[in-house]
Structure 1
């Protein structure tokens, strides 16, 4: 499988998921047994719950050269049916005793105790490895095809940036159906040769007890770690803390640094590109910034006029990227990724780039670039300002259509004992006045997906608008 497993550690505790441990030898044997059963299939789906069987099933299908379709275990009936139908998966792998609801194609239980020693030739770099379904702004989710070569290139770029070695013990409790938890969090340590300790769920106490050197989390995880100071202080022995999948609020960055002594690494990527930008293990880290392009990656900013946006740290533009870890295309759709005429992938994300090359992600062009009174305002900047207020626990900002201003800056805030006017004035004092929220809605919580990203469409629906 293009050496994605060439670093598989020959250790008794190579992989641990929710307390169940498997050696490198046992994993390879069990995965080979799965490969025997799925060989020749056009694609296989995996019920991607946090379990050893998920790891065995994914690795087994990759060994057999069969594209893997991770299916979220909490997917609704319609979402699951669409993924299975659109991908053409011929089997659905699952843990014994936990067959998903009535499913087509046939369900195949993964027996982690079985072993096989069948040898297979390596696949070619352009052979499809994963088909990962991601929601766009319109229509049903699309299957992003990530080839074996792109998976290897993406992991290797992070090995360089994060000084990732076989001595590292990676700890995380992230879902196994996204790039963060599956590609970085499972295939990463298997390729590098380090150990994986998946905590089942990302509880602070589980992170503290895991004894890792490298920890992955989304901002929600790190916020909860900071709320458990004893667990946070246990992470002082780690080498790196990495945050991704959503913007890490600056107050959480600062709190982590105070409790653990670590400045967390932040990075940027998406399903279609894997990780393309990151701060480095041997370099600086800046709150609110995702760092520099990885080795082999180029980036550029494009303004609304189609020309280059200034790299001055303040001018915003759409981020476009190119590099060896980009996906091949969308499953079942002709051609590759939609690229610009000169060969760049338009991410749909709005960013700034400083004179020194440091990137800051403002947000999605569709939801996080607010055009109000002739100004272009990044939602993330306003959110950071709100989060700096001691009474604010969470904040999300959107633009709501307005007949006078075009859009008005509108905030949804989880906070206690603070008035709307106080927060508006607080932001106006920290940022330009035109960036202040005109309206603030106090809510008990923000709607988030499995990776901790705020679902801003849900917030827009509450205002009677659409994003």
Structure 2
């Protein structure tokens, strides 16, 4: 297999990365990441953790690990102590890569640390590191990344993504989006999951183009980088596009910037039709949607140049096979926009398995088809329209996929809570907001909603906190004691 990043081998003065004041050309990235790769190899670590702040340091660290052929485990800096402890115990990284001034939590201080300094890039890459940049000895099936994703129950699972899967998915997107070395990608997505890291950083580098990361999302930042900054592509989640749509009426510079972009891409959850319409009406541009998962990387996408298709995530990408299966396990053959089935996929984009979880890996497949748990219909032109989840316990909020079970477990750890259930409900900004249904230990003195939200945020992560808390006398259950979540919306005593 050829190197993941051909442009690094050649090296050049072409811009590769820019994160605020930190900017690296391909030559500088080859030098910095190549020498860091040599240091990683020198540790003998089987895996490395990456403290995934929205900075150039994270991009350099992940590229270096890939060049060294050592799997990288991106860590969300806002992860709570319990979740972080689980990830570290499960993935057992031998070293952590972080910025020299990053303050690491107690769970990471026991690991050897390699400081990633993107300002010290003057030294030329040495011969060994240059060989690493040329591809090293890592094969196509070698693990490249281990990305943790929330399941519907229990702690997050480590999704093992091979170099083969990363390359195949990025190359398929290049075909669908006409993505080239001339493109300048703008985004502000987190760098600890697939959308922001694999698509948003590794994607431009594989093409030989460049990425401009905003550090944190802002309407002004998008307008600046797509306008005078020369950006050609924008990646975002529905929450971001909703805020852009809100701002268009009062911001002519934003209108011009979006109108001048070659490609606007939304993912991680469905973009409401109203936001599609507002953006198109103001700018003349359509937002393209694509569909993927951590386990599968990208499965489908509306192709560049296609007519507007709000609600569609497009046809399968090159190399991806997709089928719909009904509740009885029969294949849904209709392309009528009405016949619903579970999406199952197979192809070179699929993950290698869940780390240390052969049982979960086996359960995720129907033969060699991966069960996504997403329900969809297929239109006459082959486009896929997702209509919901097979289960009710995965919540898509603000671009994150969040498992209800782990939030329930965190709530149950609070001394003032006897029972807890978590669901999602529509939210015009977040897509879905997290709703907690709790039975307090003392009905006369229940813990405040803000206290429960902070409790969950401290244990897990801020984006997993409940936005709404309902207090109940009891959770609805069937005769066998199974929780009936569908009965919850009408069960609240007070909110």
TM-score for both structures, normalised by structure 1: 0.79
In 2, Cα distance between equivalents of 1:239 and 1:360: 24
Give how far 1:78 is off. 1.1
User: Over the residues paired in the alignment, what is the CA RMSD in angstroms?
Assistant: 3.0
Q: Which residue of 2 aligns with 1:163?
A: 178
Q: Which residue of 1 aligns with 2:50?
A: 46
In 2, Cα distance between equivalents of 1:143 and 1:4: 22
Call closer, same or farther: CA 1:454–1:109 in 2, change over 3 Å. Answer: closer
Call closer, same or farther: CA 1:33–1:367 in 2, change over 3 Å. Answer: same
Q: Work out which of the residue numbers 375, 379, 382 in structure 2 matches 1:357.
A: 382
Question: What runs of 5+ residues in structure 1 fail to find an aligned partner?
Answer: 370-378, 381-397, 399-408, 416-442
Q: Report if the CA contact (8 A) 1:276-1:293 is conserved.
A: yes
Q: Report if the CA contact (8 A) 1:330-1:337 is conserved.
A: no
Q: Which residue of 2 aligns with 1:347?
A: 372
Q: Which residue of 2 aligns with 1:7?
A: 7
In 2, Cα distance between equivalents of 1:308 and 1:454: 37
In 2, Cα distance between equivalents of 1:462 and 1:52: 44
Deviations 1:274-326 (A, max 9, x none): 01110000322311110100001111111111112343211221110111110
In 2, Cα distance between equivalents of 1:313 and 1:460: 37
Deviations 1:365-407 (A, max 9, x none): 11289xxxxxxxxx99xxxxxxxxxxxxxxxxx9xxxxxxxxx
Q: Report if the CA contact (8 A) 1:169-1:196 is conserved.
A: yes
- Greater Cα shift, 21-30 or 354-363: 354-363
Runs (4+) of structure 1 moved beyond 3 Å?
Answer: 334-342, 409-415, 453-467
Call closer, same or farther: CA 1:414–1:239 in 2, change over 3 Å. Answer: closer
Q: Report if the CA contact (8 A) 1:338-1:345 is conserved.
A: no
Deviations 1:252-294 (A, max 9, x none): 1111111221111100000000011100003223111101000
Which residues of 2 match residues 72-91 of structure 1 at below 5 A? Answer: 72-91=76-95
Q: Which has the higher helix share?
A: 2
Q: Which residue of 2 aligns with 1:21?
A: 23
Q: Which residue of 1 aligns with 2:215?
A: 200
Q: Residue 267 in 1 paired to residue 316 in 2?
A: no
Q: Work out which of the residue numbers 240, 244, 258 in structure 1 matches 2:263.
A: 240
SS at the partner of 1:292? coil
Q: Report if the CA contact (8 A) 1:155-1:184 is conserved.
A: yes
Q: Which residue of 2 aligns with 1:283?
A: 306
Q: Work out which of the residue numbers 344, 347, 352 in structure 2 matches 1:323.
A: 347
Q: Report if the CA contact (8 A) 1:65-1:127 is conserved.
A: yes
Call closer, same or farther: CA 1:145–1:337 in 2, change over 3 Å. Answer: farther
In 1, Cα distance between equivalents of 2:138 and 2:113: 26
Q: Which has the higher contact order (CA 8 A, sep 6+)?
A: 2
Q: Work out which of the residue numbers 143, 148, 161 in structure 2 matches 1:146.
A: 161
Deviations 1:421-461 (A, max 9, x none): xxxxxxxxxxxxxxxxxxxxxx9xxx999xxx997987697
Give how far 1:105 is off. 2.3
Give how far 1:19 is off. 3.5
Equivalent pairs counted in the alignment come to: 399
Q: Which residue of 1 aligns with 2:198?
A: 183
Give how far 1:203 is off. 0.9
TM-score for both structures, normalised by structure 2: 0.75
Q: Report if the CA contact (8 A) 2:15-2:209 is conserved.
A: no
In 1, Cα distance between equivalents of 2:468 and 2:295: 26
Q: Which residue of 1 aligns with 2:488?
A: none
Q: Report if the CA contact (8 A) 1:269-1:276 is conserved.
A: yes
Question: What runs of 5+ residues in structure 2 fail to find an aligned partner?
Answer: 397-403, 405-422, 430-448, 477-482, 486-495
Q: Which residue of 2 aligns with 1:132?
A: 147
Q: Work out which of the residue numbers 262, 265, 273 in structure 2 matches 1:250.
A: 273
In 2, Cα distance between equivalents of 1:227 and 1:144: 36
SS at the partner of 2:13? coil
In 2, Cα distance between equivalents of 1:457 and 1:303: 33
SS at the partner of 2:299? strand
